[in-house]
Amino acid sequence: MRRVKRSSPTSPAAAAAAAAALLVAFSALAGLCDAGKTSTFVRKDEKAVDMPLDSDVFRVPPGYNAPQQVHITQGDHDGSAIIVSWVTPDEPGSSLVLYGTSENHLTFSAEGRVHQYKYYNYTSGYIHHCNIRNLKYDTKYYYAVGVGHTLRKFWFTTPPKVGPDVPYTFGLIGDLGQSFDSNRTLTHYESNPIKGQTVLFVGDLSYADNYMYHDNVRWDTWGRFTERSAAYQPWIWTAGNHEIDFAPEIGEGVPFKPYKNRYHVPYKASGSTAPFWYSIKRASAYIIVLASYSAYGKYTPQYKWLEAELPKVNRTETPWLIVLMHSPWYNSYNYHYMEGETMRVIYESWFVKYKVDVVFAGHVHAYERSERISNIAYNIVNGQCNPVPDQSAPVYITIGDGGNQEGLAKNMTEPQPKYSAFREASFGHAIFDVKNRTHAYYSWHRNQDGYSVEADTLLFYNRFWHPLEESSASV
């Protein structure tokens, strides 16, 4: 190693001047970090186009009354149950699910229920839901539906038993739709070398309400499109604005009708009174799903539920506290700007108090990651109206970039707010890879890159066990 020549002692005045200069330099660097980064990547400017109805991804499976639109989600609070859902087109058929740990020996069975619904001039197929309970943790199960007509087989793996150092990998997708870009997003997620085990879906599924009379055929095509993933790993559902389907002008005055009929969630297991807000535990994570489009003000059922729910989270059992919602609280795009503000004002102090690690939202058709900030001091008259760094606050991530027909949100607020760490108008998905109780690795992947390329990353430090300040540097 090269030796450094020692300098002669400096005067106190010179030392002070040097220290001041160094402080100015560090302050300048800190200012650059605080400014955040807007990606220089420019996606080709083209409209997101829906795939035609005769696309392969919408193909109806062969065979009489063959089950279609098969999807699974968690069926209880702790991860030892699975809700299996599917549609039979010709007649009700059987609601029986055969399952077992050997593909050729499905020795167990569970009986579900079947129903239909009508929406304007549309009548659904026969929708089946079956909750399989008392499954073994960390076990691969095979299952079959369509008993008595056309049997179709699938498989899933249950999560490890809940515990503080259990590694687990979540995929993040939002605002998916059924365009060619939607197909690229799902393909990109499936091909990611970091294999997600469960999808946390932050709302806006089929976009059927964008078609004339809220064409519910597009709910069917979306179900067949996503089956290739959702039949094999749980998708944890969040309701978005495109699930409301409130259309009194055509006689449809009951909100969320198609969504509620097609996508069941285990809301009662967490004491919720409606399927739009609920919680689950999975591996080392406690996941709370909130409803941006259900009443959330003081004294409402959602408010009272969340007020009672947050104190129940045992961070020694489930260190990672994750919240899903549709409308983001912090957003520096000019689309849906401040739409989540009233919910933020009501609930943000709770998120800080209970040290939520990360909040995932959708709605804005682009990508953004925030610094750890809060704006809970502001009380209208005190003038403290700017978000401030807060290491007890969550990171807020907008992942509404699935690829739907409405296209990308490209118009950003300028200058970029200090709370915004990284933003880019591209379609993609994300991975949240929990390592243990202290660390998780997060990555965002744009559709235009190779499957292993990470466009934005962050090493998360758990707010309860290891509350250090993360670097917001982006790759």
Strand 198-201 vs strand 235-236: parallel, antiparallel, or unpaired? parallel
The answer to whether the beta carbons of residues 470 and 327 sit under 8 Å apart is: no
pLDDT confidence band for 25 (50 / 70 / 90): very low
Angstrom distance (rounded) from CA 269 to CA 316: 21
Give the three-class secondary structure for 145: strand
Give the three-class secondary structure for 26: helix
Strand 198-201 vs strand 168-173: parallel, antiparallel, or unpaired? parallel
Within 10 angstroms of residue 125's Cβ, the number of other Cβ atoms is 20
The pLDDT of residue 59 is 98
Nearest to 405 by CA among 192, 183, 104: 183
Residue 235's contacts (CB-CB under 8 Å, 6 or more residues apart) are: 71, 72, 73, 198, 199, 201, 226, 229
Average of pLDDT values for 283-294? 98
The pLDDT of residue 370 is 97
The pLDDT of residue 175 is 97
Average of pLDDT values for 373-387? 92
pLDDT confidence band for 163 (50 / 70 / 90): very high
Q: Specify the DSSP class assigned to residue 3.
A: P
Q: Which residues are catalytic?
A: 336
The pLDDT of residue 250 is 98
Nearest to 283 by CA among 322, 252, 247: 322
The pLDDT of residue 33 is 40
Average of pLDDT values for 34-44? 71
Strand 68-74 vs strand 122-123: parallel, antiparallel, or unpaired? unpaired
The pLDDT of residue 337 is 83
The answer to whether the beta carbons of residues 386 and 419 sit under 8 Å apart is: no
Angstrom distance (rounded) from CA 248 to CA 256: 13
Give the helix ranges, DSSP H, for 295-378: 301-309, 341-353
SS3 content of the chain, % helix, strand, coil (to 5): 20, 25, 50
pLDDT confidence band for 36 (50 / 70 / 90): confident
- By the 10 Å C-beta count (0-12 exposed, 13-18 middle, 19+ buried), 420 is classed as buried
Does the pLDDT of residue 135 top 60, yes or no? yes
Q: Which residue has the tokens 């199960």?
A: 141
Give the helix ranges, DSSP H, for 66-209: 180-191
Dig out the tokens for 131 from the structure.
């909750």
Record the pTM: 0.91
Average pLDDT, the chain: 91
The pLDDT of residue 342 is 96
Does the pLDDT of residue 9 top 60, yes or no? no
For the chain, report the end-to-end CA distance as a whole number of angstroms: 31
The pLDDT of residue 440 is 98
The pLDDT of residue 303 is 98
pLDDT confidence band for 35 (50 / 70 / 90): low
| pLDDT tens-place string over residues 382-426 | 988 899 999 999 999 999 999 998 889 888 999 999 999 999 999
DSSP string, 291-310: -TTS--STTSHHHHHHHHHG
Angstrom distance (rounded) from CA 80 to CA 136: 6
Average of pLDDT values for 35-44? 74
The answer to whether the beta carbons of residues 281 and 164 sit under 8 Å apart is: no
Q: 154-157 long-range CB contacts below 8 Å, 24 or more apart? A: 154/70, 154/231, 154/232, 155/103, 155/232, 156/72, 156/82, 156/232, 156/233, 156/234, 157/197, 157/233
Angstrom distance (rounded) from CA 12 to CA 33: 31
